Amino acid sequence: MVAEKEMPLAATHVQCVAEKDRVREKPWGDACVDALHSARDDRFRWESTQEKRRMSRAVIVSALSLLLVVASSFAAKAADVEVGKPAPNFKAPAADGSTFELAGLKGEKAVVLVFSRGHWCPFCNRHMRELQKSYPQFKEAGAELVVVFREDNVAGVKKAVAQAKAGFPMLVDQGKKQTMAYSPQGYDVYVVAKDGNVAAVLEGTKPKRPGAAAILAELEKLGSE
């Protein structure tokens, strides 16, 4: 027969509830009550851990859902810009204080839209200098060259103008609020024909942007059509 003092400390909840009043005076009574309290604390900690896990999973699922929605939004917007279709119109302030609107040049001349980052970007500055060298050729081809900076403010874009000694318009669209339809990565060039339709899309990367020669080749195609 097992002595009362040898009763297992892990007494069940039912046992302790049923016996706690009667066994309080017995040698193992306190151990039973302590075990009950310990079991209750363990249950609380387990439930707390499970709740934290559920909350963490919910946060992760929400974050992934948000990223999917944002990615889908960008993809849908970018898909709107297709060769042969009208170029989405936009307005944006220029470094000189004026406001540029793409639709304002429809029917007058072709437009070369270049997307860039900021005056602090060495790849951007190099690209701007290259484009400035060829700017007279863009004008001879009947096109206007327009650069949109999307990670800089007006003061920064003014510095970019000075660094490149640019004669073409440089616009500010910080946060892609006006030009979200174009270049999700921010390195592409769009050739918009005189009729307002997209004639070509030249993809670029961070270190390698579409060069002036490739852009002029697309403008020559427009002139021969």
The pTM score is 0.63
Higher-scoring residue by pLDDT: 8, 158: 158
DSSP character string of 151-213: S--HHHHHHHHHHHT--S-EEE-TTSTTTTTS-SSS--EEEE-TTSBEEEEE---SS-PPPHH
CATH for the 91-224 domain, from 3.30.300.20, 3.90.550.10, 3.40.30.10, 1.10.10.10: 3.40.30.10
pLDDT, tens only, 91-130: 999 988 899 999 999 999 999 999 988 888 888 889 999 9
**Whether the Cβ atoms of residue 108 and residue 75 lie closer than 8 Å to each other:** no
**Whether the Cβ atoms of residue 193 and residue 218 lie closer than 8 Å to each other:** no
Nearest to 166 by CA among 91, 98, 95: 95
**Whether the Cβ atoms of residue 113 and residue 190 lie closer than 8 Å to each other:** yes
pLDDT, tens only, 192-204: 999 999 999 998 8
Residue with tokens 């896990």: 53
Written as one letter, the residue type at 183 is S
pLDDT at 199: 94
Q: Is the pLDDT of residue 213 over 60?
A: yes
State whether residue 108 is helix, strand or coil.
coil
Strands 99-101 and 91-93: antiparallel
C-alpha torsion sign, points 109, 115, 120, 121: negative
Give the contacts of 24 (CB within 8 A, at least 6 positions apart): 30, 33
H-type alpha helices, 80-121: none
